[in-house]
Chain A
Amino acid sequence: MKKIFVLAIAIALVLSLAACSGGGGSDAPATEDATTTEETAADGAADTAADTAGEAIKVGIVNLPPEESGYRQANVEDMNDVFSSANGYDMKQTNTADNSEQIAAAEGYIRDGVDYLLISAANATGWDGVLTSAKEAGVKVFLFDRTIETDESNYQAALVSDMYAEGTTAVEWLLNQGLDEYNVILIRGQVGSAAELGRSEAVTKAEDAGDLKIVADGTGGDSWSSDEARKVVEAAITGGTKFNVIYAENDGMAQGAVAALDAAGISHGKDGDVVIMGFDFNRFALREVQAGNWNYDGQCNPRQASQIAEWIQAMESGGDAPTGTQYLDEVGLDTATITEDDITNKGINEDPGQIS
Chain B
Amino acid sequence: MLERRQVLIPLVVLAMLIVVNMVKGLDYFSVDIVNGALYGNIPNILFGASELVIISIGMTLVTSASGGQDISVGMSATIASAAFIQVLANIGNQSVLGVFVSFLACCAVGALLGLFNGTLVAVFRIQPMVATLILFTAGRSIAFLIDGKVSPNLRNPITAQLGGVIPGVPIQTPIILTALVICIVALVFKFTNLKLYTQSVGINEKAAKLNGIDPVKIKILAFVILGICCAIAGFISVCKNGRHDSVNLLKLIEMDAILAVAIGGNALSGGKFNMAGAIIGAFTIEILNRTLLRYGVSPDAIKAVKAIFIIFLMAASSPVVVNQFNKLKERVSRKFIQAPERTCGPNMEGQ
Contact = CB atoms under 8 A, between A and B. Distances in A.
A264 interface: yes
Contact of B290 (A231, A256, A264): A231
B298 A239 contact: no
A235 B24 CA distance: 12
Given A20-B138, A227-B48, A252 B243 contact: yes
A222 B145 contact: no
Interface string B284-318: 00000110011010111011000000000000000
Contact of B240 (A66, A227, A235, A282): A227
A54 interface: no
Given A9-B123, A349-B150, A226 B241 contact: yes
Contact of A265 (B34, B120, B245, B247): B34
Interface in B103-118: 116
Interface in A1-25: 6, 9, 12-13, 16-17, 19-20, 23-24
B25 interface: yes
B245 A226 contact: yes
A232 B299 CA distance: 11
Given A226-B241, A227-B48, A70 B151 contact: yes
A67 B144 contact: yes
B44 A65 contact: no
Interface residues on A, range: 35 or more
B251 A239 contact: no
Question: Is chain A's binding surface mostly helix, strand, loop or mixed?
Answer: helix
Contacts, number: 132
A234 interface: yes
B45 to A, nearest CB: 9
B24 to A, nearest CB: 8
A232 B37 CA distance: 20
B293 A231 contact: yes
> Which of A191, A224, A262, A350 has the largest number of chain B CB atoms within 10 A?
A350
Contacts of A69: 247
Interface string A205-239: 00000000000111111111111001110110011
B64 to A, nearest CB: 23
B40 interface: yes
B303 A221 contact: yes
Given A16-B116, A219-B302, A221-B303, A264 B138 contact: no
Contacts of A216: 296
Interface string A246-290: 000000100110010011110000000000000000101000000
Contacts of B153: 284, 350, 352
B87 interface: no
A190 to B, nearest CB: 9
> Which of A23, A235, A256 has the largest number of chain B CB atoms within 10 A?
A235
A255 B300 contact: no
Contacts of A12: 116
Contact of B237 (A13, A227, A252): A227
B141 A65 contact: yes
A225 B251 contact: yes
A303 interface: no
B125 interface: no
A73 B247 CA distance: 12
A62 B134 CA distance: 25
Contacts of A20: 134, 138, 141-142
A55 B2 CA distance: 79
A217 B293 CA distance: 9
Contacts of A284: 151, 153, 243
Nearest to B164: A263
B35 to A, nearest CB: 6
A237 B25 CA distance: 13
A240 B296 contact: no
Interface in A24-67: 24, 65-67
Contact of B151 (A9, A68, A220, A350): A350
Given A6-B123, A69-B247, A217-B299, 7 more contacts: A13-B119, A23-B144, A219-B302, A223-B248, A252-B241, A263-B164, A353-B155
15 contacts: A23-B138, A66-B149, A67-B141, A67-B144, A69-B247, A70-B151, A218-B299, A222-B252, A225-B251, A238-B40, A259-B242, A262-B164, A263-B37, A265-B39, A350-B153
Question: What 7 A-B pairs have minimum CB-CB distances, sorted nearest first?
Answer: A235-B293, A67-B144, A219-B299, A352-B153, A350-B150, A223-B251, A20-B138
